[in-house]
Structure 1
Amino acid sequence: MIYLDNAATTRTAPEVVEAMLPYFTEQYGNPSAIYSLGSAGKKAINEARRTIAAAIGAKPEEIYFTAGGTEADNWALKAAAECCAGKGRHIITTKIEHHAVLHACGYLEKNGYEVTYLDVDRDGILDPESLKEAIRPDTVLISVMFANNEIGTIQPIREIGAIARERGILFHTDAVQAFGQVPIDVEEMHIDMLSASAHKLNGPKGTGMLYIRSGLKIRSFIHGGAQEKGVRAGTENVPGIVGFAAAVRRALSRMEEKAGRERELRDYLIRRIEGEIPYCRLNGHREKRLPGNVNISFRFIEGESLLIMLDMRGVCASSGSACTSGSLDPSHVLLAIGLEHEEAHGSLRMTLSEENTQEELDEVVGHLAEIVQRLRDMSPLYEDFMKSRRDRT
């Protein structure tokens, strides 16, 4: 098997599993209990909080554990909108956000809020000037993802954060894809809230976090207990939180080396595909993108057929977000950067890890070239296109 879907989820690292195991079998006490078996779990949670806070330049008390990035996004948007409702009901985001943000915004629109969805350019980058123009006196929240989960484009977060801070507007960023992959400093980047998830950086599924800057009065999202300082009820997932912290330590210790390796593989894969398979298009910014992200559209084919045929050859990839894999609609991200429906339907996302090899990518390119040509040979659109080319010559 060749695994190229690390944006969907990553393999839990062996050292992360090892760190978690004692909290399943030996230190299994409820961390809210006062006896020693429980206090060991509480101590582990506090240590994990310090580790994760340090990774983004935050304070431990600003880190709140969740069940993942989707919960963190929902909590940030809904709670921030509610706490600021007295100042205004206008929210700004972009058209290429993850559905955890877009659907939360849709919910808020149904409850009396107004949302502006900003355009991005052909590379998926938000122009800070368009953000400035969209700000109104009643704007209370800006939410812009750090890096896009489909095309890998990294936004000018520091500039966006500075605009929000200067105007006195809360700034949230969905950093699920970026956390542990690229350097993040919440103070330097003027970030008020940040969402992240463990399973995107070789940690366990079902664990995430929301950074909330000190001083923000954000309401509870889940009620029913005093956990997480009374704002996120529910018995803490101690093994998951411990695993999250272990994954963060691992990611930080190798970030530069890992990113360099993935960029080398990414650029090699892009060069081979563009050089050997005609009528394809790289989606997202060529340089300002996540180290391991390759998103390419192939004209005249259906991406779903391509994925199935790759799977039959042992290659795991995707056509976009794992959260929308069952949808027949083309990617909202690809449409937002200007692709036609036919081009968007022919997209393939391959997201690498440092464990991939050049030999694997050579094999993948060979499969791609053969499968794409086979699918095009069955396509009336491709036949018409080639006929029109012959007629012109």
Structure 2
Amino acid sequence: MTAIYLDNGATTPLHPKVKEAIIDTLDNFGNPSSIHSYGRTAYHVMEEARLTLKTYIHATAKDQLIFVSGGTESDNTAIMQTAMSRKEVGKHLITTQVEHPAVLETMRFLETQGFEVTYLPVSQTGEITVEQVKQALRPDTILVSMMYTNNETGVMFPIKEVGELLADHPAYFHTDAVQAFSLESINVKELKVDFLSATAHKINGPKGIGLLYVKEGISLPTLLHGGEQEGKKRPGTEDITGMHAFAVAASQLDDEEKLRRKELFKEFHHIIKQTLTEAQVDFSVNGSEEHASPHVLNLWLKGVPNNLMLMRLDLEGFVISTGSACSAGNIDPSHVIEAMYGKNHPSLDESIRISFGYGNNTEDVTKFAKALASVATQLKK
């Protein structure tokens, strides 16, 4: 039996064209730093991938697009190197309580190094307002880091509005766009961000390759040392296969395809919620439904232990999660749900995350919805 995979917020399957791209480039083993024909061929592939991804986010030729190992390294580089290079300007940073651990843990480390961090709280619908950022800004604020789309609830933050707010403030602006990269039309100029992080494996590309966009005119010191690759910003022999595959994955996501997926995922929401309602399952949606990406549906199944739900569905061939995959093996409750409802709230142990992506269809989601309703009824406390 082939399982129905509904955990695309954690990682995504490779697109068939990405698989082809990987195979096609495996024989292109030249080092892009070499000046012979093999090196020049590899260099061309690398720069074509960089141009494709720059175009995807509407970056200019003078902006930097640095290839890294993934979202975590991208987040760390933007935050750590901004802090270390601007500590003479100020030592205050702003983020939110519901960021990915790659951001939160980096901020906590900086606190041990003498920096001060403001963690903005979210509402019960998981939202942040521009006014909150405005109130938290200080003359010594050097960086605001805020995710584009929350990885557990799908709630989207007002990135463009915050970018406009910061246009007249010296603080740099970083957004973790990992969860937004597959569905949103990203224009770094309209968003007015200084840094943007993304990764290939959330858009049906391979693991181990990501990017950091750096706005023209900003120079960050290198996080690693040892070579002059990536404009002297990220040493190490480049992963040509990963870079090319990342670009091919992004090339499958034109505006028409993004719109098609959004409409399909909204239909999935309707199918699941309607099925649960008809089965008289007591549930509510965690997070704003108005300001959210449709690829994530986080449900509080009242009175139903999420650990048991996860195991039962897995046995029946349905793959979902209870939160961030980067907290795998961690029995602590979701920090996102906790930020929304508070400690000891029953939703912490009764919420599940369903996340849609390439390959999901109405038939499979309908099967899943029926199984979810059935198991929820059986497990009701």
- Shorter-chain TM-score above 0.5: yes
TM-score w.r.t. the length of structure 2 is 0.96
Q: CA deviation at 1:372?
A: 1.6
Q: CA deviation at 1:158?
A: 0.5
TM-score w.r.t. the length of structure 1 is 0.93
Determine helix, strand or coil for the equivalent of 2:353. strand
Aligned to 2:306: 303
Contact (CA 8 Å) 2:281, 2:376: kept in 1 or not?
no
Aligned to 1:99: 101
Once residues 355 and 72 of structure 1 are traced to their aligned partners in structure 2, the CA distance between those partners, rounded to angstroms, is 28
Once residues 247 and 14 of structure 1 are traced to their aligned partners in structure 2, the CA distance between those partners, rounded to angstroms, is 9
Classify 1:123/1:35 alpha carbon distance in 2 versus 1 (closer, same or farther; 3 Å).
same
Q: 1:30-62: CA deviations, max 9, x gaps? A: 111111112111101101111101111102441
Classify 1:63/1:274 alpha carbon distance in 2 versus 1 (closer, same or farther; 3 Å).
farther
- Residues 1:133 and 2:131 aligned together: no
Aligned to 1:316: 319
Q: Which runs of 5+ in 1 are unaligned?
A: 380-393
Q: 1:176-224: CA deviations, max 9, x gaps? A: 0001311111111111000000010011111000000011121101111
Opposite residue 360 of structure 1, the aligned amino acid is: D
Q: CA deviation at 1:168?
A: 2.1
Aligned to 1:190: 192
Of 246-255 and 232-241, the range deviating more from structure 2: 246-255
Q: 1:261-297: CA deviations, max 9, x gaps? A: 2222223323333443432110111122112211101
Q: RMSD in angstroms over aligned alpha carbons?
A: 1.3
Aligned to 1:344: 348
Once residues 377 and 29 of structure 2 are traced to their aligned partners in structure 1, the CA distance between those partners, rounded to angstroms, is 55
Determine helix, strand or coil for the equivalent of 2:179. coil
Of 272-281 and 347-356, the range deviating more from structure 2: 272-281
Opposite residue 361 of structure 2, the aligned amino acid is: T
Contact (CA 8 Å) 1:27, 1:38: kept in 2 or not?
no
Once residues 377 and 279 of structure 2 are traced to their aligned partners in structure 1, the CA distance between those partners, rounded to angstroms, is 11
Opposite residue 83 of structure 2, the aligned amino acid is: A
Once residues 275 and 54 of structure 1 are traced to their aligned partners in structure 2, the CA distance between those partners, rounded to angstroms, is 46
Aligned to 1:353: 357
Once residues 274 and 218 of structure 2 are traced to their aligned partners in structure 1, the CA distance between those partners, rounded to angstroms, is 47
Aligned to 1:17: 19
Residue among 332, 337, 358 paired with 2:335: 332
Once residues 111 and 373 of structure 1 are traced to their aligned partners in structure 2, the CA distance between those partners, rounded to angstroms, is 50
Residue among 77, 80, 83 paired with 2:82: 80
Opposite residue 109 of structure 1, the aligned amino acid is: E
Once residues 83 and 271 of structure 1 are traced to their aligned partners in structure 2, the CA distance between those partners, rounded to angstroms, is 52
Determine helix, strand or coil for the equivalent of 2:94. strand
Aligned to 1:389: none
Classify 1:305/1:261 alpha carbon distance in 2 versus 1 (closer, same or farther; 3 Å).
same
Classify 1:217/1:274 alpha carbon distance in 2 versus 1 (closer, same or farther; 3 Å).
farther
Once residues 274 and 170 of structure 1 are traced to their aligned partners in structure 2, the CA distance between those partners, rounded to angstroms, is 45
Once residues 164 and 341 of structure 2 are traced to their aligned partners in structure 1, the CA distance between those partners, rounded to angstroms, is 28
Classify 1:84/1:341 alpha carbon distance in 2 versus 1 (closer, same or farther; 3 Å).
same
Aligned to 1:369: 373
Aligned to 2:68: 66
Contact (CA 8 Å) 2:281, 2:377: kept in 1 or not?
no
Q: CA deviation at 1:354?
A: 4.5
How many aligned residue pairs are there? Answer: 376
Once residues 274 and 178 of structure 2 are traced to their aligned partners in structure 1, the CA distance between those partners, rounded to angstroms, is 27
Q: CA deviation at 1:21?
A: 1.5
Aligned to 1:255: 258
Q: Which runs of 5+ in 2 are unaligned?
A: none
Once residues 182 and 75 of structure 1 are traced to their aligned partners in structure 2, the CA distance between those partners, rounded to angstroms, is 23
Once residues 247 and 283 of structure 1 are traced to their aligned partners in structure 2, the CA distance between those partners, rounded to angstroms, is 30
Identity among equivalent positions (%) equals 38
Determine helix, strand or coil for the equivalent of 1:112. coil
Larger Rg: 1
Aligned to 2:46: 45
Once residues 265 and 369 of structure 1 are traced to their aligned partners in structure 2, the CA distance between those partners, rounded to angstroms, is 14
Give the 5 Å matches for 1:368-387.
Answer: 368-376=372-380, 379=381
- Residues 1:33 and 2:34 aligned together: yes
Contact (CA 8 Å) 1:310, 1:367: kept in 2 or not?
yes
Opposite residue 269 of structure 2, the aligned amino acid is: R
Once residues 288 and 170 of structure 2 are traced to their aligned partners in structure 1, the CA distance between those partners, rounded to angstroms, is 30
Higher relative contact order (CA 8 A, sep 6+): 2
Of 126-135 and 249-258, the range deviating more from structure 2: 249-258
Once residues 95 and 362 of structure 1 are traced to their aligned partners in structure 2, the CA distance between those partners, rounded to angstroms, is 34
